[in-house]
């Protein structure tokens, strides 16, 4: 269990939600000294504000948290999360009146996350009692999966190169009894030439981590995660500003591992496969070059228009492998394009699929899980922008527009049309702290897809 959570106790300090428009009614339920204290502190139920009310004996009696109503624009199911780093040490519980107690508790636990590998945590944080009406085991596995992804993304490349990312995947697979194999270095040259080409210039070999879990007869669900542990841009080198956060370029692999943990820990009825192409896009004598042409695993020849569009190359070989066994569902995660951030910002990853039913399920799950995504079009007329002059296709469109869409169209070239597929162009990072989302690495889309898979393939 997360250190920020504890078993329910009726003696814990209650946290009461208060809406500004209902403050008068809420105030009528307070004792005279509580009301006087709240008034003295200027509390009126405004969203994002709180007040700690003393009991008659001087201890904390209750906490009032101003929240927006579910029908108001500022409503945030994770709102209690802001208290996880503000309240004094002690045990707290959610008072009656919370519209979504499961998300409230999750927001608390996710807000309490701290990356402590290099800087010890010295504070004594408050704990939230798990509401008795929610599934504590489910909450714990979600928090653990997100924590795994955040820790991986936040770790700098000097301590999380291809070797270390592979080791994290192996540890997770071993923990859950999955079958695992890894291909490295020269073993990739023939079967996975794009992965090999991108990663061969680095000090640590490129590799493809492949693990499978669950009953062989169960529906096949395959996750593919981009594992670029650092991206210099290659010979088309990034500027300093573009390289500053490139430790997070393995956020797709981290999110895939987060989801894999949730699925395996819950024992869902799937045959899960996780494919992680893991490389560092480095610069040295063997680095792949603009103008090079490589024959992919699928047999399609790819002309390199830009070495900084490397993520789609390693995903292409992995997606081709995934489709060879015709999974019931194929999902890929990648910190793929800056264009996605320009279009939708850091908090709202786009996703792409030609399957309308799958898209509707993803959207519903994202809203319910407070893990938002937004469908973008696989706009067929743009597909021709990827046609190569020397190879079958180029890894970039050659123009400044629709970069996230053309990247998704590139990936689609390697996915069989009869395989249900969705691509998530995530950011993998929270640039500022919000309830449930502290600044730093973030596992985007993993929680919503766990809900979707749990609904489709329950244990």
What confidence tier does 96 reach under pLDDT thresholds 50, 70, 90? confident
Q: What are the structural domain ranges in the chain?
A: 5-134, 139-456
pLDDT mean over 93-107: 94
Look at residue 120 in the predicted model and tell me its pLDDT. 82
CATH H-level, domain 139-456: superfamily: Zn peptidases (3.40.630.10)
pLDDT mean over 55-76: 92
Catalytic residue from among 46, 114, 238, 295: 238
Whether 248 sits among the annotated catalytic residues: the reply is no
Locus of tokens 């794009």: 194
How many percent of the chain have pLDDT more than 70?
99
- Does the structure show a pLDDT above 70 at 271? yes
Q: Are 377 and 405 in contact, with CB atoms under 8 Å apart?
A: yes
Look at residue 178 in the predicted model and tell me its pLDDT. 98
Look at residue 3 in the predicted model and tell me its pLDDT. 86
Whether 150 sits among the annotated catalytic residues: the reply is no
Catalytic residue from among 312, 341, 413, 437: 312
Look at residue 125 in the predicted model and tell me its pLDDT. 85
Tens digit of pLDDT for each residue in 166-210? 999 999 999 999 999 999 999 999 999 999 999 999 999 999 999
Q: Are 376 and 350 in contact, with CB atoms under 8 Å apart?
A: yes
Look at residue 2 in the predicted model and tell me its pLDDT. 81
Look at residue 339 in the predicted model and tell me its pLDDT. 97
- Does the structure show a pLDDT above 80 at 23? yes
The 3-state secondary structure of the chain, one letter per residue: CCCCEECCCCCCEEEEEECHHHHHHHHCCCCHHHHHHHHHCCCCCCCCCEEEEECCCCCEEEEEEECCCCCCCCCCCCHHHHHHHCCCCCEEEECCCCCCHHHHHHHHHHHCCCCCCCCCCCCCCCEEECCCCCCHHHHHHHHHHHHHHHHHHHCCCCCCCHHHHHHHHHHHHHHCCCEEEEEEHHHHCCCCHHHHHHHCCCCCCCEEEEEEECCCCCCEEEEEECEEEEECCCCCCCCHHHHCCHHHHHHHHHHHHHHHHHHHHHCCCCEEEEEEEEEEECCCCCCCCCCCEEECCCCCEEECCCCCCCHHHHHHHHHHHHHCCCCCEEEEEECCCHHHHHHHCCCCCEEECCCHHHHHHHHHHHHHHCCCCEECCCCHHHHHHHECCCCCEECCCCCCCCHHHHHHHHHHCCCCCCCCEEEEECCCEECCCECCECCEECCCCHHHHHHHHHHHCCC
Tens digit of pLDDT for each residue in 342-374? 999 999 999 999 999 999 999 999 999 999 999
Least confident of 48-62, 109-123, 249-263, 424-438: 109-123
How many percent of the chain have pLDDT more than 90?
93
What confidence tier does 341 reach under pLDDT thresholds 50, 70, 90? very high
Q: Is 139-456 in the same CATH topology as 5-134?
A: no
Look at residue 97 in the predicted model and tell me its pLDDT. 87
Look at residue 123 in the predicted model and tell me its pLDDT. 66
Topology (CATH) of 5-134: 3.40.220
CA pair distance 312, 335, nearest whole angstrom: 10
- Does the structure show a pLDDT above 80 at 30? yes
- Does the structure show a pLDDT above 70 at 25? yes
Average pLDDT, the chain: 96
To the question of pTM greater than 0.75 for the whole model, the response is: yes
CA pair distance 69, 98, nearest whole angstrom: 10
């Amino acid at each position: 269990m997360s250190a920020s959570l504890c078993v329910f106790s009726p003696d814990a300090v209650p946290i009461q939600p208060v809406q500004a428009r209902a403050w008068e009614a809420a105030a009528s339920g307070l004792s005279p000294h509580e009301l006087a204290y709240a008034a003295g502190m200027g509390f009126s139920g405004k969203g994002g504000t709180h007040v700690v009310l003393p009991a008659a004996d001087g201890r904390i009696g209750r906490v009032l948290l101003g929240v927006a109503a579910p029908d108001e624009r500022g409503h945030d199911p994770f709102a209690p999360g802001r208290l996880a780093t503000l309240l004094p040490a002690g045990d707290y519980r959610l008072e009656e009146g919370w519209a979504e107690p499961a998300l409230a508790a999750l927001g608390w636990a996710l807000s309490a996350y701290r990356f402590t590998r290099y800087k010890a945590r010295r504070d004594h944080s408050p704990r939230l009692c798990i509401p008795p009406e929610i599934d504590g085991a489910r909450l714990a596995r979600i928090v653990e999966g997100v924590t795994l992804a955040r820790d991986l993304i936040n770790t700098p490349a000097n301590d999380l190169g291809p070797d270390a990312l592979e080791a994290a995947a192996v540890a997770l697979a071993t923990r859950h009894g999955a079958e695992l194999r890894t291909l490295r270095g020269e073993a990739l040259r023939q079967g996975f030439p794009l992965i090999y080409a991108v990663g061969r210039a680095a000090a640590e070999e490129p590799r493809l981590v492949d693990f499978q879990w669950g009953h062989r007869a169960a529906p096949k669900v395959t996750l593919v995660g981009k594992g670029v542990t650092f991206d210099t841009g290659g010979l088309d080198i990034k500027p300093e500003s573009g390289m500053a956060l490139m430790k997070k370029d393995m956020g797709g692999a981290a999110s895939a591992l987060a989801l894999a943990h949730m699925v395996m820990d819950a024992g869902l009825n799937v045959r899960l496969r996780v494919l992680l192409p893991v490389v560092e896009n480095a610069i040295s004598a063997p680095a792949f070059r603009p103008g090079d042409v490589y024959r992919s695993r699928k047999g399609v020849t790819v002309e390199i228009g830009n070495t900084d569009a490397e993520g789609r190359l390693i995903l292409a070989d992995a997606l081709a492998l995934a489709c060879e066994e015709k999974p019931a569902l194929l999902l890929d995660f990648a910190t793929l394009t800056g264009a996605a951030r320009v279009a939708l910002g850091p908090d709202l990853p786009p996703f792409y699929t030609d399957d309308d039913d799958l898209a509707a399920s993803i959207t519903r799950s994202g809203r319910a899980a407070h893990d938002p995504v937004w469908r973008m079009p696989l706009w067929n007329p743009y597909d021709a922008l990827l046609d190569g002059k020397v190879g079958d296709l180029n890894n970039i469109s050659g123009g400044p527009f629709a970069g996230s869409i053309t990247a998704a169209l590139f990936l689609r070239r390697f996915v069989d049309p009869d395989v249900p597929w969705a691509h998530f162009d995530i950011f993998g990072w929270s640039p500022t702290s919000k309830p449930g989302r502290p600044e730093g690495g973030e596992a985007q889309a993993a929680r919503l897809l766990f809900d979707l898979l749990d609904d489709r393939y329950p244990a």
